[in-house]
């Protein structure tokens, strides 16, 4: 019987399979490196894209912050203008008020009473004057109380003074001003709205 030696063929087959395996390993290694490089580039591009988006957002936020500051400044200016307008309107509305005060003061003042000083502090008037007698001071107080412009006359000081005669007096008085009905109604509405 003939003997066939299969060892060299097997050795050659093993060597061929080993080369094939190493080739496949090299190919897989190259493909893995290419995939890794592609993944790295993809991640880097994604990070750059996100960074550019973040920078854009920061720029837009800075623009919006400037606009918010401008709006706040405009609101502050608007409030200042509204406050000024309110003061001007108040002054315009109260302009004829001083004329009415003096007109009503003259109408309420009886004969024999003279004022030497009149000071206004808000809605309060401080009066200093001279009267021929106590009766004239009392009549003056009654007239002030009955007036539509004045309320709550309060005599704070009376002293004898002969400037206007033997029974003459120097007096000091405080009286409150009343608000006109329309202004009072507006003030009442504002108080109700605020409460």
Please state at what angle helix 7-94 crosses helix 97-108, rounded to 10 degrees: 30
Quick one: how far is CA 30 from the chain centroid?
Answer: 68
Query: What ranges do the domains of the chain cover?
Result: 55-95, 104-194
Q: Six-digit token pair at 19?
A: 């080369």
What pLDDT does residue 182 have? 44
Structure tokens of 140? Answer: 């003056």
**Residue 119 vs residues 128, 149, 152, 167, 174: alpha-carbon distances, Å:** 9, 16, 16, 26, 10
Rounded CA gap, 60 and 72, in Å? Answer: 18
- Give pLDDT tens digits along the chain (195 positions): 567 666 677 788 889 999 999 999 999 999 999 999 999 999 999 999 999 999 999 999 999 999 999 999 999 999 999 999 998 888 887 777 788 888 888 888 888 888 899 898 888 889 999 988 888 888 988 998 888 888 888 888 888 877 767 778 888 999 998 875 544 445 555 556 555
May I ask the CATH class of domain 104-194?
A: alpha beta
Dist. CA 112–CA 167, nearest whole Å: 11
Per-residue model confidence as pLDDT tens digits over 122-166: 888 899 999 888 888 889 889 988 888 888 888 888 888 777 677
């Amino acid at each position: 019987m003939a003997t066939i030696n299969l060892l060299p063929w097997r050795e050659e087959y093993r060597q061929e399979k080993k080369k094939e395996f190493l080739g496949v390993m090299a190919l897989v290694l190259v493909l893995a490196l290419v995939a890794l490089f592609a993944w790295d580039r993809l991640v880097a591009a994604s990070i750059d894209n996100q960074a550019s988006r973040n920078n854009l957002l920061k720029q837009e936020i800075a623009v919006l912050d400037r606009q918010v500051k401008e709006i706040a400044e405009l609101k502050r200016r608007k409030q200042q203008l509204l406050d000024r307008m309110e003061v001007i309107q108040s002054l315009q509305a109260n302009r004829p008020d001083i004329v009415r005060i003096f007109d009503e003061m003259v109408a309420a003042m009886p004969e024999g009473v003279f004022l030497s000083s009149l000071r206004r502090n808000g809605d309060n008037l401080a009066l200093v004057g001279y009267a021929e007698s106590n009766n004239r001071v009392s009549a003056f107080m009654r007239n002030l109380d009955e007036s539509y412009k004045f309320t709550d006359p309060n005599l704070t000081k009376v002293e004898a003074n002969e400037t206007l005669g033997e029974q003459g007096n120097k007096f000091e008085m405080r009286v409150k001003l009343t608000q006109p009905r329309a202004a009072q109604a507006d003030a009442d509405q504002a108080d109700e709205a605020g409460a």
